[in-house]
């Protein structure tokens, strides 16, 4: 069999903490096997050597927060055949999207001594608000297993086995006792997409919603339950204002409770 | 009448010892991190003596009672299905070889379980699993091999939980068949003992090995009276009269919207239900593309992808998914398997994070039936 040209991989960074890129480096055991099949062509976090584009597969980390990045993301798209966003920042705007709910200028003046040097957009937005995205890997950070599955599926020309159902499904398969039912701890698992293997409930914590909204999330009904568990309107605002606060269903739910908390 | 014996606590320990010497992995309820799990126990002391549970819709709490009773806790969140029908299993592996490929079907050395303290409702659920996974043209290898080896020590219920309604479903609180041993716990006049009903030859053979006495007529009557009291104290009831027909007439009832508005489509109710059996099968290649594993995992009809056919999912709304689930439990299961899809264990009520109650929903449909 003729040796196929290895597909070229590029890893791009926008506004983010680099944690998702680290998940790739964290694939220690599998990293060599990956490089057998994929050429790491552009990955500044790992190597300074740069292979010129275009690239077959681009992983994009981070959200768009500056006018410069809003331009740059189009160049990334143009030089990528297949573009996958990785992590909550790139897919939903990240924790930095909390500013979308406030006037960003109040932060700038509060934080920086010379605010006139700061050039930033009013909102932190996901990549898909700017360019076409072929696939999204959720999570804060992404799951190493899902990243490998993505490579795997990409190399073999198949759809990745990445489910969109709730965290509860993984929680129950593991047999973890439900923290919400047995301990009265609010948990976002019923409205959050699986992928983390229900790690928080396994450690007796409620899910924080790192993987963002599941398919058809009923945030309104879950918020009702949070009320029954004794949470106040502004607590509920905070539950939905985490890493995926700007994802539409979470955004809508938090705004609804913010309005109620103000009356 | 079946043969019944009286066992002391020590005899129960001997029973566990005997099972272990026959290489059984004994599974029973125990407390771990202040929670009940149904998992391997080494000795009688592992059982949750002195603990009891309170179950209500979306609520499960444990408390200490001070009583020496081993079986005051009704049933744990996880049923025996975790052991006999694991939530994740590799079915086959295949590899490319030259111009073709080879397929290796996975064959496990099935673990040999003794299920200790399983409740009558769960026993009835197992009969449904037997009906579905063993009786037809296709049987399930994993379930079959594990099931055949399983030894069952059932515990009759003398205290139902707040969400139990087995009495309505004719599946408890007393085990009627399908067990090797069925225990009833008695604490009377400072005495703590068990009446054991012997249901199989292998159980008789085991019993002969441990200290025991013939149960007196009085003991048997007392045990039955405790179970009868439990029957009257069910936390929930479900009127099953004509229910299937009523449900079939009510596909378009607007009440489904009301419950759909609350349902989170999280799938918890299906994954705690001892009669749910749905799975999804996926193939995972490796990076080389030369090896593949076929993995089966528990699935739920509350997942959007569950009803995916060419062009999209059939049941996208939460009301349609809830309706499908309740219909399967209380109506279509009858047509499929000649039995109800519900044993009234109440787990779906307790473990629904939105506190949705199958008995309430079914009776709401009955009350607001479109055409009676
Ligand atoms: S602990 Fe959270 S994720 Fe797990 S079943 Fe309960 S609600 Fe769902
Ligand atoms: S209720 Fe749903 S998950 Fe359960 S057996 Fe029926 S279709 Fe399957
Ligand atoms: S439907 Fe609910 S009550 Fe009926 S068997 Fe399943 S979990 Fe138990
Ligand atoms: S449903 Fe019946 S058999 Fe099952 S635990 Fe409750 S009382 Fe016992
Ligand atoms: S009925 Fe309850 S447990 Fe079942 S999917 Fe709906 S919210 Fe989840």
For residues A7 and A84, what is the distance between their CA atoms, to the nearest angstrom?
Answer: 15
Which pLDDT band, with edges at 50, 70 and 90, does B2 fall under? low
The CB of A189 under 6 Å from ligand 1? The reply is yes
Cβ contact, residue pair A178, B282, below 8 Å: no
Q: Are residues A85 and A189 in the same domain?
A: no
The secondary structure of A43-93 as a DSSP string is -TTT-S----S-EEEEEEESBB-SHHHHHHHHHHHHTEEEEEEEHHHHHH-
Same-domain pairing of A74 and A96: yes
Residue A13: CB atoms within 10 A of its CB come to 19
Q: How far is CA A33 from CA A211, B287, B300, in A?
A: 27, 7, 35
CATH number of the domain to which A110 belongs: 3.40.50.700
Q: What is the DSSP letter of B371?
A: -
Among left, alpha and beta (phi > 0; psi -120 to 50; other), residue B159 is: beta
DSSP string of chain A?
Answer: -PPPPPPEEEEEE-BS-SHHHHHHHT-HHHHHHHHHHSEEEE-TTT-S----S-EEEEEEESBB-SHHHHHHHHHHHHTEEEEEEEHHHHHH--GGGGGGGS-HHHHHHHH-SSGGG----SS-B-GGGTS--SEEE-BTTB-HHHHHHHHHHHHTTS------SBHHHHHHHHTPPPHHHHH-----GGGBBS-S-SHHHHTT-----TT-B-SS--HHHHHHHHHHTT--HHHHHHHHSSTTTTSHHHHHHHHHHHHHHH-
| A160, closest residue in chain B (CA to CA) | B284
Q: B287–A30: do the CB atoms touch at under 8 Å?
A: yes
pLDDT for A3 equals 61
Residue A134 lies in a domain: yes
* List of chain A residues whose C-beta atoms are within 8 Å of the C-beta of residue B98: none
Together in a domain, A41 and A145: yes
Q: Round to whole Å and give the CA distance between A232 and A251.
A: 17
Same domain, A192 and A250: yes
**Which stretches within B192-296 are classed as H helix?**
201-207, 217-232, 243-248, 255-262, 268-272
At A49 the pLDDT is 80
- Chosen domain end from A90, A120, A155: A155
Q: For ligand 5, say whether the CB of B58 is within 6 Å of any of its atoms.
A: no
Structure tokens at A181: 């039912």
Beta strands B25-32; B4-8: pairing state = unpaired
Residues of A with Cβ-Cβ distance to B302 under 8 angstroms: 165
Contact between B207 and B191 under an 8 Å Cβ cutoff? The reply is: no
Could you give the angle at the alpha carbon of B268 between the alpha carbons of B265 and B274, nearest 5°?
A: 130
Is B270's C-beta closer than 6 angstroms to any atom of ligand 2? yes
Determine the Cα–Cα distance for residues B27 and B49; give it in Å rounded to an integer. 16
Domain ranges in chain B are 4-232, 243-367
Q: Are residues A128 and A97 in the same domain?
A: yes
Atom of ligand 2 nearest to the CA of B278: 8
Are A65 and A104 found together in one domain? yes
Give domain status of residue A53, yes or no. Answer: yes
For B161-197, what is each residue's pLDDT tens digit? Answer: 999 999 999 999 999 999 999 999 999 999 999 999 9
The pLDDT score that the predictor gives to residue A119 is 87
Q: What value does the mean pLDDT take over residues B275-286? A: 95
Any domain includes A2:
no
Ligand 1 center–CA A139 separation, angstroms: 17
Q: How crowded is the C-beta side of A28, counted as CA atoms within 13 Å?
A: 1
| Structural domain ending residue among the three candidates A129, A155, A181 | A155
Residues of chain A positioned with their CB less than 8 A from the CB of B355: 225, 228
Task: Please count the structural domains in chain A.
Answer: 2
Tokens of B51: 């603990």
pLDDT band at B371 (very low <50, low <70, confident <90, very high): low
Helical spans, DSSP H, in chain B = 9-21, 81-84, 120-133, 141-149, 166-169, 201-207, 217-232, 243-248, 255-262, 268-272, 318-327, 333-337, 347-350, 358-367
Of A152, A172, A190, the CB nearest to B286: A152
Q: pLDDT by residue (tens digit) across B237-251?
A: 999 999 999 999 999
What is the average per-residue pLDDT within B87-113? Answer: 95
* Category of A12 on φ-ψ map: left (φ > 0), alpha (ψ -120 to 50) or beta: beta
Q: Poorest-confidence range of A4-13, B253-262, B355-364?
A: A4-13
pLDDT attached to residue B48: 96
Task: Report CA(A179)–ligand 1 centroid distance (Å).
Answer: 6
| Mean model confidence pLDDT for chain B | 96
Quote the ligand 2 centre to A57 CA distance (angstroms).
39
Q: Are residues A226 and A136 located together in one domain of the fold?
A: no
Report helix, strand or coil for B156: coil
Report the candidate in A216, A219, A245 with the shortest Cα–Cα distance to residue A89.
Answer: A245
Confirm or reject: Cβ of B301 under 6 Å from ligand 3: no
Say if strands B59-64 and B51-56 run parallel, antiparallel, or are unpaired.
Answer: antiparallel
Interface size A-B, in CB pairs within 8 Å, comes to 130
Domain boundary pick from A111, A128, A155: A155
In the block, tokens 């056919």 appear at B309
What are residue B102's DSSP bridge partners?
Answer: B95
Residues of B in contact with A177 (CB under 8 A): 35-37, 60, 77
Is the CB of A186 within 6 Å of ligand 1?
no
Contact B61, B54 (CB under 8 A): yes
Provide the percentage of residues in chain B whose pLDDT is more than 90.
94
**pLDDT averaged per 10 residues, chain A (length 263):** 80 95 89 91 86 94 97 97 98 96 88 86 96 97 96 93 97 97 98 98 97 98 97 97 97 96 83
**Is the pLDDT assigned to residue B25 strictly greater than 60?**
yes
Q: Domain of A228?
A: 167-262
């Amino acid at each position: 069999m003729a040796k196929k040209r290895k597909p070229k991989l590029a890893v791009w960074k926008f506004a983010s903490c680099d944690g998702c890129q680290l998940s790739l480096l964290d694939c220690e055991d599998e990293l060599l096997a990956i490089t057998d099949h994929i050429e790491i062509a552009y990955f500044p976090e790992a190597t300074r050597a740069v292979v010129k584009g275009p690239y077959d597969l681009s992983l994009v980390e981070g959200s768009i927060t500056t006018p410069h990045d809003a331009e740059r993301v189009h160049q990334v798209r143009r030089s990528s055949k297949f573009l996958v966003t990785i992590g909550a920042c790139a897919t939903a705007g990240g924790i930095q999207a909390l500013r979308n709910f406030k006037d960003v200028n109040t932060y700038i003046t509060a934080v920086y001594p010379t605010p006139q040097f700061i050039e930033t957009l009013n909102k932190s937005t996901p990549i898909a608000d700017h360019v076409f995205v072929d696939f999204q890997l959720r999570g804060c950070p992404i799951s190493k297993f899902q990243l490998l599955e993505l490579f795997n599926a990409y190399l073999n020309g198949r759809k990745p086995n990445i489910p969109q159902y709730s965290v509860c499904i993984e929680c129950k398969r593991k047999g973890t006792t439900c923290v919400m039912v047995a301990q009265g701890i609010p948990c976002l698992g019923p409205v959050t997409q699986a992928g983390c293997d229900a790690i928080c409930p396994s450690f007796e914590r409620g899910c924080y919603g790192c993987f963002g909204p599941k398919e058809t999330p009923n945030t309104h009904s879950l918020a009702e339950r949070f009320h029954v568990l004794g949470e106040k309107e502004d607590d509920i605002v905070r539950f939905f204002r985490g890493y995926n606060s700007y994802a539409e269903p979470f955004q809508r739910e938090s705004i609804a409770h913010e309005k109620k908390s103000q009356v | 009448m079946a043969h019944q014996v009286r066992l002391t606590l020590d005899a129960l320990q001997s029973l566990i010892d005997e099972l272990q010497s026959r290489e059984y992995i004994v599974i029973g309820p125990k407390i771990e991190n202040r929670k009940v799990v149904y998992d391997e126990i080494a000795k009688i002391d592992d059982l949750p003596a002195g603990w009891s549970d309170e179950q209500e819709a979306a609520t499960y709490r444990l408390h200490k009672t001070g009583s020496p009773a081993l079986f005051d806790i009704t049933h744990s969140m996880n049923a025996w299905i975790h052991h006999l029908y694991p939530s994740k299993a590799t079915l086959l592996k295949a590899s490319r070889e030259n111009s073709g490929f080879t397929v290796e079907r996975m064959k496990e050395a099935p673990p040999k379980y003794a299920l200790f303290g399983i409740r009558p409702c769960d026993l009835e659920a197992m009969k449904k699993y037997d009906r579905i996974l063993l009786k037809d043209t296709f049987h399930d290898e994993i379930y079959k091999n594990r099931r055949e080896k399983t030894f069952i020590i059932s515990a009759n219920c003398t205290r139902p939980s707040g969400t139990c309604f087995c009495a309505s479903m004719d599946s408890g609180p007393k085990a009627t068949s399908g067990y090797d041993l069925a225990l009833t716990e008695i604490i009377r006049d400072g005495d703590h003992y068990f009446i054991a009903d012997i249901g199989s030859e292998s159980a008789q053979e085991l019993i002969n090995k441990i200290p025991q006495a013939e149960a007196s007529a009085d003991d048997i009557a007392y045990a039955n009276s405790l179970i009868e009291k439990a029957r009257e104290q069910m936390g929930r009831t479900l009127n099953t009269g004509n229910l299937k027909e009523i449900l079939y007439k009510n596909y378009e009832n607007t009440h489904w919207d009301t419950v759909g508005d609350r349902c989170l489509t999280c799938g918890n109710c299906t994954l705690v239900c001892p009669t749910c059996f749905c799975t999804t099968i996926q193939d995972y290649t490796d990076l080389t593309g030369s090896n593949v594993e076929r993995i089966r995992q528990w699935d739920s009809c509350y997942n959007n992808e569950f009803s995916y056919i060419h062009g999209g999912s059939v049941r996208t709304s939460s009301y349609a998914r809830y309706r499908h689930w309740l219909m399967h439990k209380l109506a279509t299961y009858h047509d499929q398997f000649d039995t109800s899809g519900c044993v009234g264990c109440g787990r779906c009520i307790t473990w629904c994070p939105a506190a949705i109650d199958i008995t309430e929903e079914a009776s709401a449909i009955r009350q607001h039936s479109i055409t009676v």
